[in-house]
């Protein structure tokens, strides 16, 4: 569903995060992340506000609100195809990014010699497709539904809280990886023995609740 990467500003070296990455203390103490809406056109135009609402209904010790502008925002959201790229304080991170998959990509950005994330960039695919299904012997891909887009967006917003790929839920829910289409416009955990109820409505595994709580000073 996603990849998380960190950049140390002022360096050309880019390193993959190998553990959960807490935000800087002033942000953690606020209990809030401000998010800039970069999804104002195309497939994602109706997703931003519902995604924030769904995230805030998960009961996590951090809330997300819409930012007034991109510069002051803790988290920025963007649509990407081919390459996901973000420039911050002279450092540029770019990563190959498929604009048709049901996935996202989140960058957590820190500063050399200082602790804590100070910016996150969430990338979502420009033309996400579900499939293939086979019709008349041909592979057919369908446009992702609004429900699918909401699941993907919330999954990435959880990454923006500071969680890396190795923190993906093992016990199900919206932060599980991989999620898959259910064939009826929603997303499911496809693994046998897991809760396979379609999402939305969204669910959160206990492992994810605990991981976010540890980063934000709340109780699991």
Q: Which residue has the higher pLDDT, 91 or 45?
A: 45
Residue 196: domain span: 4-212
pLDDT at 12: 32
Structural domain includes residue 202:
yes
pLDDT > 50? residue 9: no
Q: Alpha-carbon distance 188 to 180, whole Å?
A: 5
pLDDT at 19: 56
Q: Alpha-carbon distance 176 to 203, whole Å?
A: 10
Structural domain includes residue 63:
yes
Structural domain includes residue 72:
yes
Q: Alpha-carbon distance 163 to 170, whole Å?
A: 14
Cα 91 → chain centroid: 21
Residue whose entry in the numeric block shows the structure tokens 């649509």: 79
pLDDT at 22: 93
Instruction: Tell me the whole-structure pTM to 2 decimals.
Output: 0.91
Helix (H) / strand (E) element for 141: namely strand 138-143
Structural domain includes residue 217:
no
Structural domain includes residue 220:
no
Look at 85-94, 147-156, 157-166 and tell me which has the smallest mean pLDDT.
85-94
User: How high does pLDDT run on average in the chain?
Assistant: 90
pLDDT at 90: 84
Structural domain includes residue 116:
yes
Domains in the chain, number: 1
Structural domain includes residue 219:
no
CATH number of the domain enclosing 187 = 3.40.390.10
pLDDT at 139: 85
The pLDDT-based confidence of 136 (bands split at 50, 70, 90) is: confident
């Amino acid at each position: 569903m996603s990849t998380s990467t960190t950049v140390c500003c002022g360096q050309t070296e880019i390193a993959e995060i190998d553990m959960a990455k807490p935000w800087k203390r002033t942000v953690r103490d606020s209990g809030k992340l401000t998010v800039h809406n970069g999804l104002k056109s195309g497939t994602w135009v109706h997703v931003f506000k519902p995604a924030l609402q769904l995230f805030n209904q998960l009961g996590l010790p951090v809330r997300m609100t819409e930012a007034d502008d991109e510069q002051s925002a803790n988290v920025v959201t963007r649509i990407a195809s081919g390459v996901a790229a973000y420039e911050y304080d002279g450092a540029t991170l770019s990563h190959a990014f498929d604009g048709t998959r049901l996935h996202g990509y989140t960058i957590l950005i820190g500063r050399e010699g200082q602790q804590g994330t100070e910016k996150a960039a969430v990338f979502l695919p420009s033309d996400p497709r579900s499939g293939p299904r086979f019709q008349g012997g041909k592979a057919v891909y369908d446009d992702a539904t609004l429900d699918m887009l909401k699941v993907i967006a919330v999954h990435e917003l959880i990454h923006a809280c500071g969680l890396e790929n190795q923190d993906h839920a093992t016990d199900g829910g919206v932060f599980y990886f991989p999620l898959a289409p259910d064939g009826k416009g929603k997303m499911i955990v496809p693994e046998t023995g897991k809760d396979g109820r379609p999402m939305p409505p969204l669910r959160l595994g206990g492992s994810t609740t605990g991981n976010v709580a540890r980063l934000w000073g709340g109780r699991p």
